[in-house]
Amino acid sequence: MHRRYVLVIALVLLLVPLVFSIQSDALLVNGGSQKVRVVIGYRDDASKQSILKSLGVTPLKDLRDIKAMVVVIPESLIQRVKSLPGVRYVEKDAPAKAHGLSSYYGDIKWNMYMIGITDVWDYYYQYYGRRVFGYGVVVAVLDTGIDYSHPDLYGRVAYCINTIGTTTYKGTTLSRCYDGNGHGTHVAGIIAATINNRGVAGVAPNVTLIAVKVLDNSGSGTVSDIAEGITEAVKAGAKILSMSLGSSADSSILRDASYWAYQQGAIQVVAAGNSGDGDPSTNNVNYPAKYSWVIAVAAVDYYGDVPYWSSDGPEVDVAAPGVDILSTYPGGKYAYLSGTSMATPHVTGVVAVVEAIRLAAGKSWLGFSSIYKVLTYTAYDLGPSGFDVFTGYGLVDAYSAVQYALSLP
């Protein structure tokens, strides 16, 4: 379903959908989105190199003594890989499925598989435990509030900031940040819904959320409310800010608040907007997504195609699922919504998981510049080869992002 909410000062909740059309010689591009670890037995080094070239991947492991390698590929490719010259056998890597979250829980939907977060959970849990679910990381959701009592979000919201109107509330009375609209709860669920075999699961279900109510129950607000929400969220300890909102016009107070947050080390993940027209020569990315110190997110659908309404421009950094996304809704309900609003929290959750796993590995927190590099360098290229104004550097890839992040000092 498609909904659009217009703010008092042209701020809009960024609701809409997404997809990816890949162009490459590699077989991998036509393999679908659900990735799994597989073991490929090969005949000799020449056939191994030929197989890797066909898949367009790098092996996670190469067991040369027994002529076998471990790779991550879309599950739908397994049968096709068996027909490649030099392949002795192809089988799923059983140890990688040992934790079985993606196999045993019905609340994990297609969008989680698409971004590769299920591979992160399945493989890295044995090493880092709850950190693979974002444990220990604080994320602020600047939106219409959160239904903190929702069964899939209960216990996740620890603090409330309400900047609407002339009085600002900061504290643990979570009812002051209740979501009477639905948008904020939907966004929060994509980030942090609990894995409990009911409803839905979020990208980082063990994060701690700060509900920052900067929009009222009609989805309206002012740039000053949002600017204050940004600064107060950072002062409350949030190092990651998720903003599924925007305005077509720039604002000095919004720019100053966003840049201040950047200077404090906050990572801001922002919806690109729902003003797309399909014309690569026009720039319709909203603010604050246009700022160079934030991560701007576009939307794609189940197939990786870009919906017409997803804003495009040179500021777009990455893309994520944003069409017909099922997530939490006030009153213990669930709803399908579309928009770059839905794409953004997928990326927010990935950032939280990357940072949490790095901390578990004894490494330092990655700031904006390093996280930006991790996300854009590991993104799964969509559309024309390389960067494009519709999907940026491509579909966010959680598994590759974690791998690369762990390789950094």
Question: Is-contact 160 171, C-beta < 8 A?
Answer: yes
Q: 372-400 burial, b for 16+ CB within 10 Å, e for fewer?
A: bebbbebbbbbbeeebbbbbbbbbbbbbb
Structure tokens at 326: 């099922």
Structure tokens at 325: 């996304």
Q: Which of 93, 107, 122, 143 is flagged as catalytic?
A: 143
Structure tokens at 30: 């036509």
Beta sheet of 35-42, edge-to-edge order: 61-63, 68-74, 35-42, 87-92
User: What is the rounded CA–CA span in Å between residue 171 and residue 161?
Assistant: 7
Three-class secondary structure of residue 82 per DSSP: helix
Q: How far is CA 69 from CA 49, 57, 93, 403, in A?
A: 11, 11, 10, 17
Three-class secondary structure of residue 124 per DSSP: helix
Three-class secondary structure of residue 205 per DSSP: coil
Annotated catalytic, 99? no
Q: How far is CA 75 from CA 33, 106, 282, in A?
A: 8, 18, 37
User: What is the rounded CA–CA span in Å between residue 283 and residue 191?
Assistant: 28
Annotated catalytic, 327? no
Q: Which of 275, 311, 341, 400 is flagged as catalytic?
A: 341
Q: Which of 150, 183, 186, 346 is flagged as catalytic?
A: 183
**Which positions ≥6 away from 146 have C-beta within 8 Å?**
153, 157, 177, 178, 179, 184, 185, 188, 209, 211
Q: How far is CA 348 from CA 32, 209, 218, 316, in A?
A: 23, 12, 24, 15
- DSSP letter string, 125-143: HHHHGGGGGTTT-EEEEEE
Annotated catalytic, 281? no
The catalytic residues are 143, 183, 341
